[in-house]
Amino acid sequence: MRTQAEEKFSDYFEKWVCRLEEYCHQLHSASRETSITEQELRALVSKLTAHHKEYYTAKWAAAAAAVGGGGDDFFAFFSPPWSSPLENAYSWLTGWKPSTAFRVLEALRAQGGTFVAEDQMKRLEQLRAKIRLEEERVERVMERQQVGVAERRMVELARLAGRRGEAAVTAAAGGQVDVLVDAAIKGLATGLERIMKAADCVRLKTLKGVLDELSPAQSVEFLAAISALQVQLRRWGKRRQSQVEHRSRETASSSRKRRAL
C-alpha cells in the first residue's frame, strides 16, 4: 500500500509524463516541418529543458521532505511504485543512465547519415568520455554506501534488534534500540539522497552538454527521440504490468472457484 507521500509524487509524475508526451508530439511535428523558424525550434527546445528541470526540482523537494520525515518514504525513489517493473529494471540510480543519450545520437546518426557532422561527433565523444567518468564516480560512491550497510555499527544494531524478542531485553532497552535503528536508517537515507542528486546532476549535465553541441534542428530531433524512448518504455511497462495483474486475478478467481466446488 502506498504512503501519502508516494501517492502525491505518483500523481505529479503521471502528469509530468503526460506533458512530456505532449511535448514529444510537438517535437516530432517540428522535426518534419520545413517552414518552422530557428527561433521557434529554440523555443521548443527551451520548453523541454525547462520541463526536465522542473521534474528534478520537484523530485529533490519530495526526497528532502521524505528524508526529513525519517527516511522511510525516501527509499521509494530507488524502487518507485509510480513506475512499472520494466522502467525500474532499466533505471540507473533513480533515473535514465546518462550514457543512453549518446546511444540515441548514434542511432539517429545511423538513420540519418549526416545527422551529426564529424567535428560535432568528435566533441560529443569527448563529452561522452567525461560523462562516463562522472557515472563511474557516482557508482563508486553508491558502492561505498551499499558496503556501509555491513559496517560494525550496523551489524551491532542488527544483532541488538534481533534480540528484542528475548526476555533478557527490557522494554527500555528495546526502545533505545528502536531510536538507534531509526537514526541509522535516516543516515542511510541521507547518504542515498546525496547519491540520487549526484546522479541527477550527471543527467542534467549530459542533456545540457549534448544540446550545446547540436543545432536547434538537431536538438529537436534528439529530444524527440529520447523523449519517445521514455514515453514508449513507460507504455510498454504499464501494458505488461496490466497483463500480469490480469492473469494474477484470473488465477486467484479460478482458485476460489475450485475451492468452492
User: Which tens digit of pLDDT belongs to each residue from 57-108?
Assistant: 999 999 999 998 876 789 999 999 999 999 999 999 999 999 999 999 999 9
Nearest CA to 94 out of 82, 106, 102, 107 is that of 82
Contact indicator for 196, 212 with CB cutoff of 8 Å? no
**The predicted structure's pLDDT at residue 154:** 67
Contact indicator for 41, 30 with CB cutoff of 8 Å? yes
Find the domain containing 52 and state its range: 4-260
Q: Model confidence over 227-248: pLDDT tens digits? A: 999 999 999 999 988 887 777 6
Nearest CA to 27 out of 238, 218, 237 is that of 218
**The predicted structure's pLDDT at residue 69:** 81
- φ/ψ of 3, rounded to 5, equals -80, 170
User: In Å, how far from its chain's centre is CA 248?
Assistant: 27
Question: Which residues, at least 6 apart from 125, have a Cβ–Cβ distance to it below 8 Å?
Answer: none
pLDDT above 90 covers a percentage of the chain that reads: 62
CA distance 12 to 160: 40
Q: Extract the residue ranges of the chain whose pLDDT is less than 50.
A: 167-172
Count of positions (residues) in the chain = 261
Number of domains in the chain: 1
- The residue type found at 65 is A
Q: What are the CA-CA distances from residue 69 to residues 10, 63, 64, 75, 190 (Å)? A: 18, 10, 9, 12, 11
**The predicted structure's pLDDT at residue 34:** 82
Nearest CA to 154 out of 183, 174, 193 is that of 183
CA distance 70 to 178: 13
CA distance 68 to 58: 15
